[in-house]
Amino acid sequence: MLACQKLDVRPRPGAPALVHGATARFAAGGLHALIGPSGCGKTTLLKGLLGILPAEGEIFLRGQRAAGPDALRREVAFAPQFSIAHGKLTVGESLACALELYQGVRGPDGAARIGELLRLVGLEDRRDTLVEKLSGGQLRRLGLALELTTDPVCLLCDEVTSGLDPRSEEQILAVLRALVDGQGKTVVCVIHNLAKLPLFDSVTVVYEGAVVFQGPLPALLAHFDLSDALTLYDRLNEKPLAHWRAAWAATPPPEPASMSDEPPTPTAPPPGEGGSRRVVPPVAAQIRTLLARRWLLLLRDRGYLALTLAITFGFPCLVVIFALRGLPQMRTLALAPPGVETMMAQAEFVRESLKTGTLVSGLIIFQVILLCLMGSNNGAREIAGERALYEKERMSGLRPAAYALAKLAFATLLGAAQGVWMTVFVKVVCHFPGGWAEQLLVLGGTCAAMSAVCLGLSAQMASADKASLLSIYLVGFQLPLSGVVLALPVWIAWLVRPLITTYWGWVGYLKPMGDAGNGRLYDTVTLMGVDKDWWLWPPWAALAVLAAHFAVGAALVFWGCGKQRWP
């Protein structure tokens, strides 16, 4: 069924091989144990077979050389050591989402298939239980059920019984045996408990990155001159790797009945045998499923939901609180200019105007900075925080384009809504003049653009903490580099302002105030000298730059989601 010949596997291109010259064959319809001391390369071998790690050599499926990792993954599934699923979904919801994403199965057919999978892994009574409430053994069984949603012909299991109590281990092994005997699947399982080897049809021994034996348990005992498999690792340590490789090379090949290479299959496998006939749902269908799941997770995660609601409704209140002392002056100045009849009165008017202008400019930039913080919260952890899940779902059939578009839609629509609410609340309370349409678009676009940029950073990072930290730094440098609060040398302003989202949110909101019927508040800002160069752009220009920032963030998202990056 699955075989490799002279396979070298590396942690990254150009690095020394962790598995070298591995030749192994896993016969169809068998339960195969993959064993070896810790760190010898068992998991590395599995990841090399699937293309998760760079590999050189030949890989065969059904006796034919595999066309590539993508073709192989349509028929071979990988169950990692720990189940990868959203903790806030129920067991049934997790399986339903997987069936929709990988197979396009939903409705009555989906419900029936979920029932079959739950019965197979023994989780019927846990259908409505949240994943985060499952025990370790139940999580492993859920992981197996998730992999079986694609109906693979071969399943590679990475230590799915490690760390479990004896009863849970027995349950997992019983499920694997049922897959082999009841459905004819081929299962390769990395296992540490050598006492369980009698339950397997064949055993593959990996030692120091090399395959040094394959065959049934009696043949293993004879080959290593053992009376009990529990002493295998002690025997391996008695001789260097070269000895064991030479001993295995001198051993006659296994009997064809147990370990033979299958002849090439000239036609597609019959229905029910798996993956090559599987049709992955289109991008639009996967986006719909991902958005529905993300919305459900938002409502279920009370901590994140509370934080999002707190900053969405609390940040506008902060702006108003800081504006309270200056509201009378702003309203008076906005309604009618005071009479300026004497030089003293004129000086006083200018002084008060400068104070008011500073307040107005500060309130606008304060709104924009807070919206950028909201954007950071929307996007920074969104992809990096579930990178392992994404990589696993991608192996099973999730399209990177669907995932990227779904994340962009969620983060930027949330950001746009937050920007619109900020605009409405502050304008109504502070009576800022200016066109509603322009200012709504500018502040909504500011938060959406920063959400996209931080989402792009999240797609590039391997951990959510690193992505969050980088996003916070990005927002922190926005204020001084905008030049609104601190004056910048002209040549620095020319260099950095096109890159600073907060500047374009500030200027795009400010300019419509000068176009209003009474532009006194705008005039107070220009009294501070900010119009001495041509940087006070109109709203349409600000929106164009914000759209460019969004495009950069979207490009980073697609680039990051297109790269394979297992945590």
- Reply yes or no on whether the pLDDT at 257 is more than 70: no
Q: How far is CA 237 from CA 35, 234, 243, 244, 537, in A?
A: 15, 5, 11, 10, 74
Q: Tell me, what DSSP letter sits at residue 26?
A: E
What type of residue is 83? S
Looking at the predicted structure, is the pLDDT value of residue 517 above 80? no
Q: Looking at residue 342, what is its pLDDT?
A: 54
Please state, in angstroms and rounded to a whole number, the distance separating the CA atoms of residues 135 and 163: 12
Arithmetic mean of pLDDT, 523-528 = 58
**Which run of H or of E encompasses 97?**
helix 91-103
Range 15-32 average pLDDT: 92
Residue 366: closest CA among 320, 435, 327? 320
Supply 538's token pair.
Answer: 């109109």
More confident residue, 441 or 565: 441
Q: Give the three-class secondary structure for 309.
A: helix
In this predicted model, which residue has the larger pLDDT, 255 or 290? 290
**524 and 330 in contact (C-beta within 8 Å)?**
no
Q: Is the pLDDT of residue 299 over 90?
A: yes
Identify whether the C-beta of residue 203 lies closer than 8 Å to the C-beta of residue 215: yes
CB-based contact 438:413 (threshold 8 Å): no
Q: In the 8-state DSSP scheme, what is residue 202? A: E
Is 525 exposed, middle or buried, given 0-12, 13-18 or 19+ CB atoms closer than 10 A?
buried
Which of 372, 371, 444 has the alpha carbon at shortest distance from 413? 444
How large is the average pLDDT for residues 231-249?
Answer: 92
Question: Among 14-23, 82-91, 317-326, 486-495, where is mean pLDDT lowest?
Answer: 486-495
Overall size of the chain counted in residues = 567
Q: Residue 159: which of 3, 51, 46, 48 has the closest Cα?
A: 46
Question: Tokens 């890989």 map to which residue?
Answer: 59
Total Cβ atoms within 10 A of residue 65: 12
Report the distance separating Cα 479 and Cα 469, nearest Å: 17
The 10s digit of each residue's pLDDT in 306-354 is 999 999 999 999 988 877 765 555 555 444 455 545 555 445 545 555 5
Cα–Cα distances (Å) from 340 to 275, 345, 358, 518, in that order, read 83, 6, 21, 17
Category of 4 on φ-ψ map: left (φ > 0), alpha (ψ -120 to 50) or beta? beta
Domain positions in the chain: 1-75+154-252, 87-151, 283-562
Q: Please state the φ and ψ torsions of residue 54, each to the nearest 5 degrees.
A: -60, 130
What is the H or E stretch that residue 64 is in? strand 64-65
The answer to whether 203 and 32 have CB atoms below 8 angstroms apart is yes
CA distances from residue 64 to 1, 2, 75, 511 in whole angstroms, order as listed: 9, 9, 13, 67
* 3-state SS, residue 263: coil
> 160-191 burial by CB neighbour count: b if 16+ within 10 A, else e?
bbeebeeebbebbbebbeebbeeeebbbbbbb
Strand partners, 466: none
Half-sphere exposure of 104 (CA within 13 A, CB side): 9
Give the pLDDT confidence score for residue 334 in this predicted structure. Answer: 47
Q: Taking residues 396-409, report their average pLDDT.
A: 96
- CA pair distance 236, 427, nearest whole angstrom: 76
Q: What is the pLDDT of residue 270?
A: 39
Task: Identify the helix (H) or strand (E) that includes residue 6.
Answer: strand 2-9
Average pLDDT over residues 506-533: 63
The pLDDT of residue 535 is: 57
Residue 566's pLDDT band, with cuts at 50, 70 and 90, is confident
- The single-letter code of the amino acid at 25 is R
Mean pLDDT of 75-104: 91
- For residue 405, the number of C-alpha atoms closer than 13 Å in the C-beta half-sphere is 13
Model pLDDT, residue 430 = 82
Amino acid at 148: L
Task: Please tell me which residue, 492 or 121, carries the higher pLDDT value.
Answer: 121
pLDDT higher than 70, residue 217? yes
Residue with the bigger pLDDT between 528 and 156: it is 156
In the three-class reduction of DSSP (H, G, I as helix; E, B as strand; rest coil), residue 410 is classed as helix
CATH architecture assigned to 1-75+154-252: 3-Layer(aba) Sandwich (3.40)
pLDDT of 533 higher than 50: no
Helix then strand then coil, % of the chain, to nearest 5: 60, 10, 30
